[in-house]
Structure 1
């Protein structure tokens, strides 16, 4: 069974329910299915082997997702923020691509493939074309190609096959579980696994999807209130901006029953303020990777409220919760073999039917028993999974391995710190020096030595930053992930 069956199933049960858009003007499930079938006809007639999408989130993404599945070809949403050369390089890696691009990005892609349509042109052709007969997709064929964010290395094309995505759905979402009054607000980008997962999980549940292409805190709040949104997904930087915008006031969103966040580390002070600003909302921390077809661990609403209420459990707010059904997790030592005990920090390995671990042109990185190396440092403490950052981010100072997250979690609680990233910079004596790069809360902030002294009182001496640097902003991806290599380059260049 391929992912096209997700839409087929929903259409057979709630054909007249609005699937996408505003309550009064949105597209119903039956209408979406008709246009997606027409889109499959367009793709077949044009002989495409890959469907590339470059644009912001909106109605076009679900349409393209199911049109490509019905046509039996993969969809590859690309990061529209990339430079022209980067986009064209990614397109060149795909066989016989047909590009669908929002008008704003069409010029960047002219000549990158033999066929290029704007989003409106594809929609019009799909609506005019009749449905074509299609066989159910082969479970083992590729449904989606997603390129990794490239925060630690060059982007790699992850192959997500139909059975990976359907396994994720069947284990984490109940079919038809959403009522007609339920609506979700999606502001995560289409080229991120959360954006693709939102399409599949909400269609499978029968929930109306409302898209916010251009995020602003006030725009997000307005849409939540106007459309009586019952659930939403944000990345941490979005939630931080909403909380800052509210300025200590209540969000005034009583219908918002669930607010999920993920994609990057969430600063615990921001989360604590958000829980106060949204008192009627259940918070969900969803942790996953592109290679795992979305979520593999969840910190649920009850976990959040219990941790906020009980100082002895407050540390759980910095965890990503428990591993979801159908998934297994292990913490291994640096040798990639030895399984560590509960509470020990090491490297996270995961296994389950939703795990791909396969890269275009590179093959699978799963071990002989099907375990995938996430390259995240982590520990499991009484079933709760704590992520300590990427293994590649580890600072080696004087032969000692130091996780930046350990220092960041302390620094972010300083009153003068809005954001912080801790990096290792080259040092002739120690190998690497610990450098804390801080975005201050205001123009008047603590001096470097005062920050170091504050850390020294709360951390072991070897964890005290050697250097403290103040900057206006940190380099991040659109989903809020820190691009450490850019920050290291920036700091070392300024030092030189």
Structure 2
């Protein structure tokens, strides 16, 4: 089944329903359907085998996703925040691409000599081109997404039509949205959550409102002006939204569900959000690019139960990512591949139709039984709730002992003087690595490094105490909130080499 059939179904069932709102554009499902057939004609006429896109998305994102599918080619949205050199490196890795680019980013790809169309020119051409509607094979590549490359060079993840359709049909009921349901989408188009939002909301029959450049005040304004009922944010966005609501004293009377994910959210921020927006149902969604988006969910009732309970096991679940979605199997394995029991930490493996695990130039990394190694350290509790402890690549080895940074971060972030924290390992001649806590203080706070070390020692055993505590105004992160630990390690290593600052 092609992903384009999701649009066929939506347009057939409710052609006059407003499906997409982006700036001044308001497209019905029927109009989007017609435009995608013309867009497919433009793509097929170019002779390209891949459509690459550099821009902020909005209405153009679903248009390009479905136009590419109907032309029988793959779609690759690229990170518009990258330099021109980095963008051209990614474009060069794609098969015979047609590059479609927002006007604001044409200069970013200066020097590119291949096929190139400005976004507005593609839109104009799609409105008048002869319609095309190919039917690709289920295992054909539908979308190519480059990983963030926080610890290595970006990999090109290949998601097939079958992967994406399995994810949508396994987690969303067709036309299940209420007539007044509206989704606000502000995740970037090159992230798997952006692709998943376009597919799932259209299939559910929910109007999609795009905020192409995130601003917390504009986010709040759109929630109220468009009567938004559901939204998805990454941790940095949630933090800014909560700050804006506090500042302006705004209410969000139409908002029923707010999903967060993309990276770990500090528990103090989650608790503040629950207190500030008690009528909103919060959802923690965990997934990876290689799994076509969400594979586990902590739903609204789980949030409310954890907040209200006196049972430590239930309270602890607020820090989990919930339980696997339908169609997904999970296992926790040790270093030798043995499956571990409840509350035993190891590497998370996942399996299901929505799981790709395939990379351009590398091939599939699934094992012989179809399991994908996520490289995430995780734990399952006795009730099947999944706790993510960070990337296995981030593990600190100090004096021969393996230490998960998340274990220390979860303690430090609860200190009243700490707003954000990242714990990393820095090379050391005596210990192999030492533990360095990089702390962003709360506004107006001036925590003492030794006080923070003592605070950690009061909860964890001594070997988990940071050897150093350094302070920064902010942490380097991707637009989806993943801390760029390698940047911190490189900076701290350089500091040490030149006798730099720190405590």
TM range (shorter): over 0.9
Partner of 1:52: 52
Deviation per residue, 1:331-390 (Å, 9 max, x gap): 00012x110111100000000010000000101100000000000000000210000000
User: 2:69, 2:134 within 8 Å by CA — same for their partners in 1?
Assistant: no
Partner of 1:148: 147
* CA distance 1:309–1:452, change in 2 (3 Å): same
Secondary structure at the counterpart of residue 43 of structure 2:
helix
Checking the alignment, whether the CA contact within 8 Å between 2:75 and 2:143 is kept in structure 1 is yes
Distance 2:199 2:266 in 1: 29
CA 1:158 to 1:112, structure 2 compared with 1: closer, same or farther past 3 Å? same
- Match of 2:19, SS state, is strand
Distance 1:125 1:22, change over 3 A: closer
Closer/same/farther in 2, CA of residues 179 and 22 from structure 1, 3 Å limit:
farther
Q: Which residue of 1 aligns with 2:393?
A: 392
Partner of 1:236: 235
Q: 1:30-69 counterparts in 2 under 5 A?
A: 30-69=30-69
Deviates more, 1:16-25 or 1:64-73: 16-25
Question: In structure 1, what is the equivalent of residue 496 of structure 2?
Answer: 495
The answer as to whether partners of 1:23 and 1:227 remain within 8 angstroms in 2 is no
Please give the secondary structure, in 2, of the residue aligned with 1:405: helix
Deviations 1:177-233 (A, max 9, x none): 112211100000000000000000011101100000111111111110111000001
Relative to structure 1, the CA distance from residue 22 to residue 83 in structure 2 (aligned partners, 3 Å threshold; closer, same or farther) is closer
Q: TM-score, normalised by structure 1?
A: 0.98
- 1:281-292 to structure 2, matched below 5 A, reads 281-292=280-291
The 5 Å alignment of 1:412-491 reads: 412-491=413-492
Distance 1:297 1:342 in 2: 17
**What is the match of residue 317 of structure 1?**
318
Hey, what's the Cα distance between the residues in 2 that align with 1:276 and 1:248? 15
Q: 2:117 and 2:226 mapped to 1: Cα distance?
A: 31
Distance 1:274 1:462 in 2: 33
| Closer, same or farther: CA 55–22 of 1 in aligned 2, 3 Å | closer
* Separation (CA, whole Å) in 2 of partners of 1:297 and 1:250: 33
Distance 1:58 1:89, change over 3 A: same
Stretches of 4+ aligned residues off by more than 3 angstroms: 22-25, 248-251
Provide the C-alpha distance between the structure 2 equivalents of 1:246 and 1:59, rounded to a whole number of angstroms: 27
Distance 1:36 1:285, change over 3 A: same
User: Match of 1:342?
Assistant: 342
TM-score with structure 2 setting the length: 0.96
Instruction: Map 1:79-228 to 2 at 5 A.
Output: 79-132=79-132, 134-228=133-227
Q: SS in structure 2 opposite 1:21?
A: strand
* Counterpart residue number, 2:500: none
Whether contact under 8 Å (1:185, 1:211) holds in the other structure is yes
Deviation at 1:246, TM superposition (A): 2.6
Task: Please name the residue that 1:411 is paired with.
Answer: 412
Q: Secondary structure at the match of 1:6?
A: helix
> Does 2:337 correspond to 1:333?
no
Give the deviation of 1:495 after TM superposition.
2.3
CA distance in 1, matches of 2:100, 2:416: 47
Alignment partners' CA distance in 2, 1:441 and 1:433 = 25
Report the secondary structure of 1:370's partner residue.
Answer: coil
Residue-pair matches, total: 494
User: Is the CA contact 1:285–1:299 (under 8 Å) kept in the aligned structure 2?
Assistant: yes
CA offsets, 1:254-309, max 9 Å, x none?
21111111100000000000111111111111100000001000000100011011
TM-superposed deviation, 1:162: 0.3
Contact 1:91–1:113 under 8 Å retained in 2: no
CA distance in 2, matches of 1:406, 1:168: 31
Distance 2:22 2:488 in 1: 41
CA distance in 2 between counterparts of 1:397 and 1:23 reads: 52
- Once residues 24 and 449 of structure 1 are traced to their aligned partners in structure 2, the CA distance between those partners, rounded to angstroms, is 54
* Partners of 2:84 and 2:110 within 8 A in 1: no
Give the structure 2 partner of residue 78 of structure 1.
Answer: 78
Other-structure match for 2:377: 377
Gaps of 5+ in 1: none
2:8 equivalent to 1:8: yes
Q: Which moved more, 1:166-175 or 1:446-455?
A: 446-455
Change (3 A) 1:252 1:155: same
What is the distance in 1 between the residues matched to 2:12 and 2:350? 35
Query: Residues 402-440 of structure 1: CA distance to partner in whole angstroms, max 9, x if unpaired?
Result: 000000000001111110000001111111100000011
Q: 1:296 to 1:250 in 2, by over 3 A?
A: farther
* 1:273 aligns to 2:256 (yes or no): no
Secondary structure of residue in 2 paired with 1:247: helix
Q: CA deviation at 1:88?
A: 0.2
